[in-house]
Amino acid sequence: MRFSANLGFLWTDRPLPDAIRAAAAAGFDAVECHWPYDTPAPDVARALAETGLPMLGLNTRRGAPGENGLLALKGREEEARAAIDEALAYAAQIGAGCVHAMAGFATGPEAEATFLANLRYAADAAAPQGITILIEPLNHYDAPGYFLTTTTQAARLIDSLGAPNLKLMFDCYHVQIMEGDLTRRLERMLPKIGHIQFASVPDRGPPDTGEVNFTHVFATIERLGWTGPLGAEYRPTAHTDDSLGWLTTLR
Ligand SMILES: O=C(O)C(=O)[C@@H](O)CO
Ligand SMILES: [Mg+2]
């Protein structure tokens, strides 16, 4: 099993290039981040080259304070597409393979039509760069009012767009809270999945705590033939370096 350190949550006490170095020193196989835009891309690229770790993905900007993405917001298409362009340009500079296209707080048919149109734009713009666009259902405790909440909804959108580079971000933490049935859902969704993340439920801590048996979940993912690094997107209760026991016990 290979693991990716999500630097939106891990080693947040240091600048992104140093967080990449810390992830390498701790034995991670890859890194991923949320919103790297305050850090010059060449600094990130240098840390990646130095450590040999790939950056798997990053997110589109969330928008104004209190917002959580722009792609499903009717009337905000220009900003949404600027956020997509910005994310793709940054991803290209650091060799990231995925961009998580964040939908935002919205509901209803207009939001869906807007999201689909912006996803079409994103998938078309990403394809020549070999980049995958990810959409991620978020749970209704952490992100109440977020447009995308279930893998069933995401699968319907992915099917209706029919773009080969539009995939599902399967975050076991959100999926367990909203839908459960993780094993069967992973089996069913596998062809649509572009990246997998995890954290304990309900606390969003390391995976060796909480209600989900990640020994079983990781074995399932391996049995299904998934070979990509799994994204450790949890909040350490103490310092990140003191939260990594699972990396040896669950590997
Ligand atoms: O919250 C998550 O889960 C994520 O993966 C973020 O990228 C989006 O908020
Ligand atoms: Mg996630």
- pLDDT by residue (tens digit) across 46-93? 999 999 999 999 999 999 999 999 999 999 999 999 999 999 999 999
Q: What is the CATH number of the domain that holds 79?
A: 3.20.20.150
Rounded to the nearest angstrom, the distance between the alpha carbon of 136 and the centre of ligand 2 is 7
Residue with tokens 């305050």: 38
Over range 11-38, report the average pLDDT.
Answer: 98
Q: Collect all residues with Cβ–Cβ distance below 8 Å to 54 and sequence separation of at least 6.
A: 30, 31, 48, 95, 96, 97
- pLDDT by residue (tens digit) across 181-198? 999 999 999 999 999 999
Mean of per-residue pLDDT scores for the chain = 98
Over range 120-145, report the average pLDDT.
Answer: 98
Residue to probe by mutation, ligand 1, list 35, 37, 59, 149, most atoms within 8 Å of CB? 59
- Checking if the pLDDT of 169 tops 90, the result is yes
- Provide the residue type at 217 as one letter: V
Q: Which of 89, 35, 96, 27 is nearest to 60 (CA)?
A: 35
pTM for the full model?
Answer: 0.98
pLDDT reported for residue 35 = 98
Cα 28 from Cα 53, distance rounded (Å): 8
pLDDT reported for residue 237 = 87
For residue 233 and ligand 1, the question of a CB distance below 6 A is answered with: yes
Number of neighbouring beta carbons within 10 Å of residue 18: 14
Which domain, by its residues, includes 109?
3-249
For residue 34 and ligand 1, the question of a CB distance below 6 A is answered with: yes
Rounded to the nearest angstrom, the distance between the alpha carbon of 100 and the centre of ligand 1 is 9
Residue to probe by mutation, ligand 1, list 233, 234, 235, most atoms within 8 Å of CB? 233
- Checking if the pLDDT of 14 tops 90, the result is yes
Over range 17-30, report the average pLDDT.
Answer: 98
For residue 100 and ligand 1, the question of a CB distance below 6 A is answered with: yes
Q: Which atom of ligand 1 is nearest to the CA of 174?
A: 3
Q: How far apart are the first and last CA of the chain?
A: 6
Q: How many domains does the chain have?
A: 1
pLDDT reported for residue 238 = 87
> Which letter does DSSP use for residue 99 in this model?
E
The answer to whether 50 is a known catalytic residue is no
Rounded to the nearest angstrom, the distance between the alpha carbon of 7 and the centre of ligand 2 is 12
Q: Which of 55, 135, 44, 47 is nearest to 96 (CA)?
A: 55
ipTM for the whole predicted complex goes beyond 0.90:
yes
Q: Which of 12, 7, 14 is nearest to 32 (CA)?
A: 7
pLDDT reported for residue 189 = 98
